[in-house]
Amino acid sequence: MARMLSLSALFAVGATAALTGSAAAQSGEVNIYTTREPGLIQPLLDEFSKETNIKANAIFVKEGLVERVRAEGANSPADLLLVVDIGNATDLVAAGVTQPITSKLVEETVPANLRGTENQWTALTTRARVIYASKDRVAEKAMTYEELADPKWKGKLCIRSGKHPYNTALIAAFIAKHGEAKTEEWLKGVKANLARKAGGGDRDVARDVLAGICDVGVANSYYVGLMRSGKGGDEQVKWGEAIKVILPTFSDNAGSHVNVSAAAIAKNAPNKENAVKLLDFMLGHEAQDLYAKANFEYPVAADAPVDPIIASFGKLKADSVPLDEISKHRKAAADLVDKVGFDN
């Protein structure tokens, strides 16, 4: 991890030129720009290099990935772009810095709704937007996203900011299902049910359920693994154990809303062939197991195992609406959050 962070610092001070042009095109290398914390993917990259003798150079780009790749243009050393949200993936495509992925394994492994138009990006793992509910105070075992606006939850609901990308994506999915007018009414109902001001993080929802501030809340599935496993400390174990996880669906019963960690091939990738090899490796059974368990996410490969903590929620059925379609409604979703004063 220290090596990767030093690489990041090196690039940050203008040493990108060392990997530009013909110097970047090394048959035994692949260059990855990642917005995901380096420690989560380094074991996988090490295994890839061990099996293929292809050196994987990972550069952590915390912010401004699109701007960086676009500014580097034809001289960009980037081969594979890794991001942690559907909005990030579609922003790369909109900026014109990706190219179609040509991989039979991608098409056979990743469901079409979890890939971009013309395979401009592909999901690697998914996480569900679920309901955290009090084990002691909530009898329900199943719920819909629509039910979050039911007055029976008045003063009992916790959620982070409506402007956070996780919630913007969920609201955008609601628009894709019901249109903007019905989504606005739903948002008003959810706001009316809030036990506290929308804000904080997803793990704070579990904390506040334990404290009795709220009975239900909306959060990502993988945080439960981070809490219950002890990776967040002893206090968070208590938060994770205080909740039960409900995999909600929309009222059409088409499945739960999911977001993704995703990958795209850079438009000017000097090592495109190696980038595809790495992408195929990341979708293999062993790598999917490692990648998913590193952050308690769901693998996209159907035959890859799910971490036991996450599997305990029940079998996930992902909503079938293409994520590209959902992403088109992100701006409208953010505008509705402002219109109803959701975060006020």
Please enumerate, by residue number, every residue annotated as part of a binding site for Fe cation.
222-223
What are the structure tokens assigned to 149, written together?
Answer: 């606006």
Element (H, E) at 16: none
Q: Pick the closest to residue 149 from 113, 184, 186 (CA basis).
A: 186
CB-based burial, 212-248: b 16+ in 10 Å, e otherwise? ebbbbbbbbbbbbbbbbeeebeeebeebbebbbbbbb
Cβ contact 50:278 at 8 Å? no
Query: Which runs of consecutive H residues, i.e. helices, occur in 148-246?
Result: 165-178, 180-192, 202-210, 222-228, 234-241
Element (H, E) at 104: helix 104-109
Residue ranges for the binding site? 222-223
Q: CA–CA separation, 121 vs 101, rounded Å?
A: 7
Cα-only R_g, the chain: 20
Q: How many CA atoms lie within 13 A of 252 on its CB side?
A: 12
Q: What are phi and psi of 45, to 5 degrees?
A: -65, -40
Angle between helices 285-294 and 272-282 (to 10 degrees): 80
